[in-house]
A = this chain, B = another copy of it.
Amino acid sequence: MKNATTMLMENGIKPSYQRIRILEYLMSHRTHPTVAEVYNGLIDEIPTLSKTTVYNTLKLLIEHQIVNEILIEEKEVLYDVAEEDHGHFKCVSCGDLIDFNLNEAPPAVPTGFVVQSVHVYYKGLCNKCSGKQHKE
């Protein structure tokens, strides 16, 4: 995988110091961190960092499809570097969030996992909007 600076530039995003560090954090922490975790993970090395910048940067990365948001926690959004298709398994007992492969049919969860509910959602353009191709 390319380095953070290259990924930003290839997507037309000016690679500021904060943006590089936030994307690097996501690339090296594949634990679906929250905004707070990204912030806390960087604040020691970047004492001037603000949460607003973390929010702004994540929104920017999502708009450019470099990062996906995972809406599985009721209370806060998790973030994930966009890569191969994978699903997420959330344990309702311990709260762990585990990736699983989506390139098999049916998508296979690891051995020993008990699926209680399946949730699928797509995002894109509906039939009314796909003709216009314009957003907002």
Contacts and interface: CB of A to CB of B under 8 A. Distances in A.
Interface in A100-131: 100, 102, 105-107, 109-131
A88 interface: yes
B115 A124 contact: yes
A9 interface: no
Nearest to A102: B120
Contacts of A92: 123-125, 135
B117 A87 contact: no
Interface of A: 65, 68-74, 77, 85, 87-94, 96, 98, 100, 102, 105-107, 109-132, 134-136
10 contacts: A68-B117, A69-B74, A71-B74, A72-B121, A87-B121, A90-B121, A92-B124, A93-B136, A113-B124, A114-B130
